Structure 1
């Protein structure tokens, strides 16, 4: 069997320039028209070509290999075998895909003839190439429809099961989805509007495995390798297939204002509530004496005027900077562990389509720098913002040219430290001359 490699083509099938030509504003204009402004399910046959789908399948396998060798059971990895969820994953992770192993070969080695399904949440944290490809594809869409209030995340689905292990179900409220189907086998999605999905008395409505009586009332959408499927939010649905396939479900995350307020309050707690293990005692004060609460309130670092609304607004601004620096992705990538050699003639370049963003930090003299969704507080120095702007503008620059932008006796030390951080959090690539 021939094993596909990027070097097999003159141009990388997922090269930024190619994806930008392929999924331009015109393509997304047609997408919005066909989906009636993202309000009805539909299939888009003119999407990825065979080489792109194959390479993306390989990148998904690389994610599974990384999880199996490094991260183990983190990040919401779920496995079903013959219809039953498997809780202990060590044996499964030990059979992770091998480099350049085709998906059919890996499945045969890892599962034999058994039916299986894998769901991996927060897939955007892994595989820089796959995350970049989807970010480039989605770039014009975000400019046209705006940034989802809580960003974008994607879920990887792999399996040869006959139907989604979750049965007929709805996803979290407010999440619409673009499903990039990578094959090799096809898939069919069944959807129901609420009024069309009529359950019998006592029948489980969500995660309903009794599917046969309901298939006649469903709309169905069949799609194959390289095709895209869109589904609006809040729809009952069920995926079915007869063959092995891989799909990436890219979610636009918008929720109710109440749910969003809860998320922002959670972020306030995470960022501004100091930890304490001090145990309270029964309160012996009179009913109107509430002084005991002050010790708990003292843990909350509110602004000087104590305005909680102002703090929530600032938390949302922080979230926006995070999303805009990460092409809309809700989750930051796993940081790099390697430290590249950074000679004066080494070249640095921003990773398209991501943009590093700056704003003043709360502490005087410091700058908040957002790199792929990670917020870094740095001591500000003349030239720092100019460096970020230059990198964001595109192109490759020698380290010595970046150092020359800073008029400071410690310029080289400061620039190398800055570039090291940008590389660690995947905002830039560093290459030899």
Structure 2
């Protein structure tokens, strides 16, 4: 299906309204999982991924109140959203709503749901891609920044789960720039001289959005849209992300050497390895709590073959990637390589080889804990 859609829409550039032959990659059960995961995640920085609106204005506290007070269970999530964001009687005010970015980071279930779609897209799309989910929830009308263009590297597919209708207006970028010059958004759309193309997205339908054309979406009734965002990632962005994730730890382990001697191409390749270990999904899943005290010498550690564990040498160190996360060891141990090659090993055999290879027992246990907590391996 993705290959056909890719061809029909000029590489997912759109615009293209369609009734999908498969259900949305993310439904209300997965939305409940994302919101519950965000609620349970520690710290307040998670709120940076939320944007909330009431009567056309941004509300900086709505997301916190919503997560802390609402029933986010899968069995009640649809009723919760209808009640909370009713355009006239909603708990947070008239025409309220939420935009949730980076939904993948809070739900292992959504990772599982998206994995086959990501695999199909990897087989279809050339270059390095990452995939994420953004949620648009409520009856907030339109966002206050008006008609706008997105990053030209993005390809966006909107799945309207309903129950309300979602409407979109799209203006030619060429026409907008002929009137206003090289701008990225027009707040007052009434000032635009050219007429937009209008699209109505009923529940159960999907829309390939032309991200680099000017557009605005309207939620006048309560609707929930799960938006599939595919990003073509440049070499520079891959390198920048990888440097951000590795530099402190590698600098502490090998000061003045490994990380600062890498080329952009080398860092970009490591970024690709990290992404590959997570099936090209943009964010790693939430870590899993591991009861190391329950492990027995005969316990079997098995690699989840859907999510490859990848080892990369960096100077004298080894970076182990699993599900978009990393673990740095003093060397590429035969124990780790053997586990990757064979797909399974007992705890006893892993630690014996790890120590015999010059590693210490504590680091070997940490390597096991990393693989299990990152969800790159399971215990049988």
TM-score w.r.t. the length of structure 1 is 0.70
Q: Which consecutive residues of structure 1, in runs of 5 or more, have no partner in the other structure?
A: 1-26, 275-299, 392-396
TM-score w.r.t. the length of structure 2 is 0.79
CA–CA distance in 1 between the matches of 2:43 and 2:256? Answer: 34
Q: 26, 44, 52: which one pairs with 2:18? A: 44
Query: Secondary structure at the residue paired with 1:155?
Result: strand
Q: 132, 137, 140: which one pairs with 1:153? A: 132
Are 1:115 and 2:95 an aligned pair?
Answer: yes
Q: Give the alignment of 1:19-418 within 5 angstroms.
A: 27-49=1-23, 53-66=27-40, 70-74=42-46, 75-89=48-62, 90-99=64-73, 100-109=75-84, 111-112=90-91, 114-148=94-128, 151-197=130-176, 206-212=184-190, 217-254=195-232, 261=236, 264=239, 268=243, 271-272=246-247, 301=256, 311-339=263-291, 341-343=294-296, 348-351=301-304, 353-363=306-316, 366-378=317-329, 379-391=331-343, 400=346, 403-404=348-349, 408=353, 417-418=366-367
Task: After superposition, give the CA deviation of every residue in 1:366-393 in whole Å (9 maximum; x if it has no partner).
Answer: 43210111121124332421212333xx
Maintained 8 Å contact 2:26/2:110: no
CA–CA distance in 2 between the matches of 1:352 and 1:133? Answer: 16
Shift of 1:212: 4.8
Maintained 8 Å contact 1:64/1:97: no
CA–CA distance in 1 between the matches of 2:213 and 2:30? Answer: 27
CA–CA distance in 2 between the matches of 1:55 and 1:45? Answer: 20
Task: After superposition, give the CA deviation of every residue in 1:99-141 in whole Å (9 maximum; x if it has no partner).
Answer: 3322333552574363212122222211111122123212111
Q: Which consecutive residues of structure 2, in runs of 5 or more, have no partner in the other structure?
A: 250-254
Maintained 8 Å contact 1:403/1:415: no
Deviates more, 1:211-220 or 1:410-419: 410-419
> Pairwise CA RMSD of aligned residues?
3.9
Deviates more, 1:124-133 or 1:113-122: 113-122
CA–CA distance in 1 between the matches of 2:36 and 2:241? Answer: 33
CA–CA distance in 2 between the matches of 1:30 and 1:156? Answer: 25
1 or 2, which has the higher strand percentage? 2
